[in-house]
Amino acid sequence: LVFLSIFLPAALIGCRLLPSVRMQNTLLLVMSLVFYAYGEPVYVLLMVASAAGNYLWARLITRFRSAGKGILALAVIQNLAVLCVFKYAGFLAETWNAVTGLHVPVPVISLPIGISFFTFQAMSYVFDVYREDTAAQRNFFRLLLYISFFPQLIAGPIVKYHDIDRELAEREMTSEGMAVGIRRFIAGLAKKVLIANTMGAVADALYAAPLAQINAPAAWLAAVSYMLQIYFDFSGYSDMAIGMGRMFGFHFKENFDYPYIADSMQDFWRRWHISLSTWFREYLYIPLGGNRKGKARTILNRLIVFACTGIWHGANLTFLFWGLYHGFFLLLEEVIPLFRRKGSPVLQALKHLCILLIVLVGFVFFRSDTIRQGFVMTGKLFTGWQFPADSMRLCLSQLTPLNLLAFALALPAATPCLKKLEGRAFWERLSWAATPVLLLLCMLFLAGGTYNPFIYFRF
């Protein structure tokens, strides 16, 4: 509520009043640092230090082209070291102890919010300078604004520097952009507050229950609720970031394209978290050789990419399993001709249902606290067809009118059926009229609800 009622309006009004882009950048940089410091007072220094390091590496690459590859390697080591220390140190120590039987002290380090996002964003800048896709930025504060810009700082999308390089120096805040941005922002806020939070409450209640109390209906309700929660949570934040960017004159690329209508795993990853999948393809898969070095190497490269994609999300074996699980089905898809060609409507529907099931089971492991919980919950989906009273009470207790309404809203909103109405006069009038109503509903829900952060804040 503080962000909606004070912080964002102050930033917008301040930028509208300032006469130059340079002064606007100064205001946005200060507010971005204040925004991050509000939740992470100490770690704002870490983010500034990370930006400074990458600024220097890029300048050195430009100055010493002959040693560019070595400088790039040092930049990558620096960024990965930051991630290893703050995100993976405890996980690595626990894994080492489990494998060796030793008792190395396990460090307890609080995770800086959004560290994976701002680190990967900074790394993409250095990569692009090395590949001469963009020129090294001479103004450190402009680069720091790119890395710390508050609309997409803590949960993406991962913005490439060359996509907004020009707008950092020259842009215009227009009334049309402001209106479109506000509508997009409120739509994303509604996704998060009205749907994702409601679905999250259902998933949290069911995943927190004793495994013995979970039967098939409860397992399916938990899995579907989380599948909807994570989509509306993350795509909602992406919509909010894109909308806020548009308000300030920036144009961020789309991060989601209705992934739950995919009819293959490859299609799913073209639609899900587009900025991350693009990042790994451009900066890891292709440098590893892509599919240019034979079938065996291609398989290895893809497994490496999806292992990294999984562990990027968190220091837990469940995330690693989720990444390799997706990599396995992508490889399997290549040897099953069914998924590589179009067919009858019935065949397409079956393919779509198959992909939805694969994705749903993957998210069961993604949400689980342990691998064991993931396997038990997955098993319950298919074998837990017993109906003891305590299991049914648990399941039915989650089917409240509010939760059922959220389900009813989520299912069509996860498909492009509403998008097809865009451009029609009646729909445009209806959507504009609905915007202030949605904002009011969101503020009422936020005022009366408990703290519920975005899922991707912890990544």
Say if CB 35 and CB 55 are below 8 A apart.
no
Lowest mean pLDDT among 10-19, 102-111, 326-335: 102-111
Of all residues in the chain, what percent carry a pLDDT higher than 70?
A: 96
Q: What is the dihedral of CA 169, 170, 173, 178, to 10 degrees?
A: -70
Residues 95-112: b if buried by 16+ CB within 10 A, e if exposed:
eeeeeeeeeeeeeeeebb
Rounded Cα–Cα distance for residues 151 and 244 (Å): 6
Higher local confidence (pLDDT), 341 or 313: 313
Comparing 23-32, 319-328, 439-448, the range with the smallest average pLDDT is 439-448
* Residue 276 structure tokens: 């991350």
pLDDT given for residue 58 in this prediction: 95
Specify the pLDDT at position 453. 60
pLDDT band at 77 (very low <50, low <70, confident <90, very high): very high
pLDDT tens sequence across 160-175 = 898 888 999 899 899 8
Question: pLDDT at position 143, please?
Answer: 94
- Which tens digit of pLDDT belongs to each residue from 189-237? 999 999 999 999 999 999 999 999 999 999 999 999 999 999 999 999 9
| Mean pLDDT, residues 122-135 taken together | 93
What count of other Cβ atoms lies within 10 Å of the Cβ of residue 81? 10
In the 8-state DSSP scheme, what is residue 272?
S
Share of the chain above pLDDT 90, in %: 63
User: What pLDDT sits at residue 424?
Assistant: 78
The overall average pLDDT reported for the chain is 89
Q: Would you state the pLDDT for residue 426?
A: 78
User: What six digits make up the tokens of 356?
Assistant: 């939805």
Least confident range from 31-45, 178-192, 369-383, 423-437: namely 423-437
Q: Which residues contact 456 (CB under 8 A, 6 or more apart)?
A: 117, 154, 155, 156, 233, 234, 237
| Global confidence as pTM | 0.91
For 240-284, write each residue's pLDDT tens digit: 999 999 999 999 999 999 999 998 899 999 999 999 999 999 999
Q: What angle do CA 130, 245, 429 make, to 5 degrees?
A: 145
Task: Work out the pLDDT band at 340, boundaries 50, 70, 90.
Answer: low
Question: How many CB atoms lie under 10 A from the CB of residue 314?
Answer: 19
Residues classed as catalytic: 313
Alpha carbon distance 110, 43 (integer Å): 10
User: Which of 329-349 are b and which e, b meaning 16 or more Cβ less than 10 Å from the residue's Cβ?
Assistant: bbeebeeeeebeeeeeeeeee
DSSP assigned state of 136: P
Give residue 381's pLDDT.
95
With CA atoms as reference, report the closest residue to 242 among 251, 233, 234. 251
pLDDT tens digits, one per residue of 395-448: 999 999 999 999 999 998 999 887 777 777 777 788 888 888 988 988 888 887
